[in-house]
Amino acid sequence: MEACSIAAHSVNTAGEAQPYTDEEAEAHAREAGVDPRPRETISEIDERGAFIRQPNAFIRPFGDKEGDLKAEAGRYAIYWAIGCNWSNRPVIVRDLLGLQDVIKDRLVTHSGQTNKYGHGFGNQPGHKDPLTGAYFLSEFYKRADPEFTGRATTPTLVDIIEKKAVNNDYHRLTNYLEVQFRPFQSKDAPDLYPKKFRKEIDELNDWLFPHVNNGHYRMAFCQSPEAYDEAYEDFYDSLDKLEKRLGENRFLFGDYITDSDVRAYVTLVRWDVSYYHNVGPVKKPIRDYKNIWGYLRELNTVPAFHKNSNARTLALNGIPKDGGALFRGYNERILTKVDFDKLWADDGERRKLSRTPDELFLRHPEGETYEDYAGEISTTIWNSPSWADRNPKNGVLSVDASVNPLKGLL
């Protein structure tokens, strides 16, 4: 299973952790009428043994056209999991844009000890989501699409009034927050997705997905040495490209943090403390890539990044509290003792790469209206049902990620 959510327990009135047993989860599943989650290591593996991720189920866009989802305050909540890079993205972006009062968030956990029914609310009183009364994330999927039989995953944007999943398209969710939710953002919200440069940002995001973000999962879930080697080479080759790019650029597109930096960060921050568990021998830890490591440490100083996705929390996530095992894993023996504040301290060196060292973000021009800023957002190739559209051999990923095409422009 995707090692993303935290172990299941809730807190009783005395403030003590209460375990969430399989028997309780079973009873809740019967009450809610949900099915066990399918196993991706069986149902999402192709004939070569490679991991072929299920498509996102809810991809109806937010927009201004008829039939599009409409941005609204107080209607949606982001359901997410601590360990899940896909769901950290929208939570980080929401916080950067000052949308915390507009879109709530809920953390999910395993359901029961064996997580048979997928994401649940083991951390909540009665193991029930106080916002909606749900026991499982999959209830929102079933309500939105009774035919849905896949895995209910994070992030999911849930309509908390209708108690239905409305969008789990992590390729574009952050772009919707950036553009369609612009009228609700704080006054000084940064511009993470400048209209003039969306094409370049989308192209890099489409490259980051298979090589970096899903690079980990391609290694972690594949079932054959051939598929593993392909994913391994691809991932480390991608790190070399990013290392080169970040040698001359403070952030991926230069002086300012953009949507792409959030996407790169959420995967790379996990590598040395969490993902390494699942991927076999590591060629090189991330902290041995001088530029990537400096880049991550600087991003980690930004509260929205640090609060929602930091190495200490990820390293300690899910470590059993009772100990007592004959052999304890590396995280429990070693990472619990690491001084993360010291290890992750930013030395300020990367500021020298910027023309505006004190400014991390691009700001919207005074007087800009929603109409000025709205317009096309990514139509990402990764949601296409046709493999021909997504096959890298067809040239869809011709971008050279080692070079910043916007050098000096953004």
Ligand X SMILES: N[C@@H](CCC(=O)N[C@@H](CS)C(=O)NCC(=O)O)C(=O)O
**E strand or H helix at 142:** helix 138-144
Strand order in the sheet with 156-159: 104-107, 76-80, 156-159, 164-167
For ligand X, the closer CB: 33 or 395: 33
Q: Is 222 a catalytic residue?
A: no
Residue 45 sits in the site that holds ligand X (CB under 6 A): no
Q: Which listed residue (28, 75, 106, 119) binds ligand X by CB under 6 A?
A: 119
How near is the Cβ of 118 to ligand X at its closest, in Å?
4
Q: Which listed residue (112, 118, 122, 190) binds ligand X by CB under 6 A?
A: 118
With CB under 6 A as the contact rule, which of the stretches 81-89, 294-302, 315-323, 397-405 interacts with ligand X?
A: 81-89
Can you name the residues that pair with 157 across neighbouring β-strands? 78, 167
- Per-residue binding string, ligand X, 147-176, x by CB under 6 A, is ----x-xx-------------x-x------
Q: Is residue 315 within 8 Å of 273, Cβ to Cβ?
A: yes
Query: Which residue is catalytic, options 20, 84, 228, 275?
Result: 84
Q: Which listed residue (50, 81, 273, 311) binds ligand X by CB under 6 A?
A: 81
How near is the Cβ of 40 to ligand X at its closest, in Å?
6
Rounded (5°) CA angle 7-10-14:
140
Query: What number of chain residues touch ligand X (CB under 6 A)?
Result: 17
Per DSSP (E only), the strands in 32-174 are 76-80, 104-107, 156-159, 164-167
Q: Is 373 a catalytic residue?
A: no
At 91, which amino acid appears?
V
What is the distance, to the nearest Å, from the Cα of residue 324 to the centroid of all Cα atoms in its chain?
33
With CB under 6 A as the contact rule, which of the stretches 79-87, 189-197, 308-316, 342-350 interacts with ligand X?
A: 79-87
Residue 116 sits in the site that holds ligand X (CB under 6 A): no
How near is the Cβ of 260 to ligand X at its closest, in Å?
19
Q: Which listed residue (28, 37, 172, 182) binds ligand X by CB under 6 A?
A: 37
CA distance 372 to 368: 6
Task: Determine the 3-state secondary structure of 8 from DSSP.
Answer: coil
Residue 297 sits in the site that holds ligand X (CB under 6 A): no
How near is the Cβ of 168 to ligand X at its closest, in Å?
5
Rounded (5°) CA angle 142-82-307:
130
Q: Give burial (CB, 10 Å; 0-12/13-18/19+) of 296.
A: buried
**E strand or H helix at 302:** none
| Residue numbers at the binding site for ligand X (CB under 6 A) | 1-2, 4, 37, 53-54, 56, 81, 84, 86, 118-119, 151, 153-154, 168, 170
